[in-house]
């Protein structure tokens, strides 16, 4: 199976054959490596669906991400496509970060929260920072301020998630 070809076609409003690819990849590191190459494909639809499939595969098999930590960290800094960003945000808490790396991840996600127009990117970034703060408590004060600010200024979806996360904090 050529994963990138299976993920191509159609437009950004559909998931295409992502579930088929998720089943095919399973817990196979070689197949997951192939899926990773989709993040840098020339076609936005392939990048989006690759990120979606990665997120779904690693719900069950988060260890598959470890070998790709450096490249995912790099993608976090260069990706501008909202549909890829929202999945990258979901992946970040599934990796083991040093304090400095976690600070850089939180900084990037905070930038996205400040500059993104996609409510999904903002919600997933807030959730990712919340999840990271469980392992790195030093981000809790910054997170609390971010959530309080989003409760005032965010879209309805962002306000709702911010309220829920503040209650859990």
How far apart (Å, rounded) are the C-alpha atoms in residues 41 and 75?
12
List the pLDDT tens digit at each of the 169 positions of the chain.
899 888 998 888 888 889 999 999 999 999 999 999 999 999 999 999 999 999 999 999 999 999 999 999 999 999 999 999 999 999 999 999 999 999 999 999 999 999 999 999 999 999 999 999 999 999 999 999 999 999 999 999 999 999 999 999 8
Determine the 3-state secondary structure of 23 from DSSP: helix
Q: How far is CA 14 from CA 10, 115, 121, in A?
A: 7, 25, 17
Question: Maximum distance among all alpha carbons in the chain?
Answer: 48
CB within 8 A of 81, min separation 6: which ones? Answer: 44, 47, 48
Number of CB atoms found within 10 A of residue 9's CB: 13
What is d(CA 7, CA 39) in angstroms, rounded to the nearest whole number? 11
**Phi and psi at residue 116, to the nearest 5°:** -75, 145
């Amino acid at each position: 199976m050529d994963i990138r070809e299976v993920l191509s076609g159609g437009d950004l409003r559909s998931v295409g054959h992502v579930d088929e690819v998720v089943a095919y990849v399973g817990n196979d590191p070689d197949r997951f490596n192939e899926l990773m190459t989709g993040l840098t494909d020339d076609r936005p639809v392939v990048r989006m669906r690759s990120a979606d499939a990665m997120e779904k595969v690693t719900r069950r098999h988060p260890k598959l991400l470890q070998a790709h930590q450096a490249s995912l960290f790099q993608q976090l800094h260069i990706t501008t496509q909202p549909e890829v960003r929202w999945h990258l945000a979901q992946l970040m808490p599934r990796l083991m970060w040093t304090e400095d790396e976690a600070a850089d991840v939180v900084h990037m996600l905070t930038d996205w929260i400040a500059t993104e127009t996609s409510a999904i990117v903002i919600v997933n970034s807030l959730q990712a920072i919340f999840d990271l703060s469980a392992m790195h408590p030093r981000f809790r004060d910054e997170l609390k301020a971010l959530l309080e600010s989003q409760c005032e200024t965010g879209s309805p979806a962002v306000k709702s998630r911010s309220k829920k996360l503040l209650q859990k904090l």
